[in-house]
């Protein structure tokens, strides 16, 4: 199979305007993401609706596609970009523009899901550690949780803590059960990407503001590969401070 990576990036983030261009250790964040994945995919493009992001990608020698500013999700933006690129790939990997520490090994994990020809959509999850802080990690609504079935497929995603451990002190939940957090990375077979972007927004998606719930509500399966590597999604300026500290620690 051949794979294309598309990084949707918009300037007008509510919680962190201009996030893709924020300086992360001397490079714009979008460049960090691009450089993390470009060596392991057949092609990589940034998909954006903003000329400032387009200029930044061109400046570091990346490939970029301009897309509509009316998309409601990164998946829709990926689909438009894929159509505009015009070359056929077996699968499209949607790489979040605010995940600058995605590792090549994690991309390989995602690709490995498609050795099963029944897989429609794939994503990554990571176990929370028993030593993680329950309040700031497990209960963080900006870090969606996911429950898997015995086949490693997602049953549900939520910003709430799932499952709820009845009768257990919540401060001990991480020691009593393996909870998974969702890593912001998807891969879709080309035909499936076209199909899911034609679906109307669903009640669960609107409730949780998680687009993957639309796919589950419409009967699509999402295969989850388990990664043990840490990632830092950047949603707020405070997250950027954590990312900078993490970057400094890696250089030591």
Q: What is the pLDDT tens value at each position of the chain, 252 positions in all?
A: 999 999 999 998 777 889 999 999 999 999 999 999 998 999 999 999 999 999 999 999 999 999 999 998 899 999 999 999 999 999 999 999 888 989 999 999 999 999 999 999 999 999 999 999 999 999 999 899 999 999 999 999 999 999 999 999 999 999 999 999 999 899 999 999 999 999 999 999 999 999 999 999 999 999 999 999 877 778 788 888 888 888 888 765
Ramachandran quadrant class, 78 (left: phi over 0; alpha: psi -120 to 50; beta: rest):
alpha
pLDDT for res 99: 87
Partners of 66 in the β-ladder: 48
Fill in the DSSP letter of residue 229: S
User: Mind listing the domains of the chain with CATH numbers?
Assistant: 117-182+191-230 (3.90.550.10)
pLDDT for res 224: 98
Q: How far is CA 200 from CA 72, 104, 144, 207, in A?
A: 11, 33, 22, 14
pLDDT for res 72: 86
pLDDT for res 239: 84
Model confidence pTM above 0.95: no
pLDDT for res 237: 83
pLDDT for res 5: 98
Beta strands per DSSP E along 118-179? 121-127, 145-148, 154-158
Rounded distance between C-alpha atoms, residue 110 and residue 107, angstroms: 5
pLDDT for res 249: 84
Give the CA count within 13 Å in the CB-facing half-sphere of 165: 13
Q: Which among 121, 88, 124 has a CA at the least distance from the CA of 104?
A: 124
Ramachandran quadrant class, 10 (left: phi over 0; alpha: psi -120 to 50; beta: rest):
beta
């Amino acid at each position: 199979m051949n794979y294309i990576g598309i990084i949707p990036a918009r300037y007008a983030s509510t919680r962190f305007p201009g996030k893709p261009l924020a300086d992360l250790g001397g490079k714009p964040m979008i460049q960090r993401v691009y450089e993390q994945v470009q060596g392991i995919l057949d092609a990589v493009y940034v998909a954006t609706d903003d000329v400032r992001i387009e200029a930044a990608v061109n400046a570091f020698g990346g490939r970029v596609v301009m897309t509509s500013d009316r998309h409601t999700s990164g998946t829709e933006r990926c689909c438009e970009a894929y159509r505009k690129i015009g070359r056929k790939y077996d699968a499209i990997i949607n790489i979040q523009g605010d995940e600058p520490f995605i590792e090549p090994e994690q991309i390989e994990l995602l690709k490995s899901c498609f050795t099963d020809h029944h897989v429609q959509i794939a994503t990554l999850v990571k176990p929370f550690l028993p030593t993680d802080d329950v309040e700031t990690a497990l209960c963080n609504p900006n870090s969606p949780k996911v429950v898997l079935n015995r086949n490693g497929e997602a049953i549900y995603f939520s910003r709430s803590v799932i499952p709820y451990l009845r009768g257990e002190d919540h401060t001990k939940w991480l020691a009593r059960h393996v909870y998974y957090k969702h890593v912001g990375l998807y891969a879709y077979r080309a035909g499936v990407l076209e199909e899911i972007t034609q679906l109307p927004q669903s009640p669960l998606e609107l409730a949780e503001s998680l687009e993957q719930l639309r796919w589950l509500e419409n009967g699509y399966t999402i295969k989850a590969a388990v990664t043990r590597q840490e990632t830092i999604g950047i949603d707020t300026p405070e997250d950027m401070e954590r990312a900078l500290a993490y970057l400094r620690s890696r250089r030591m």
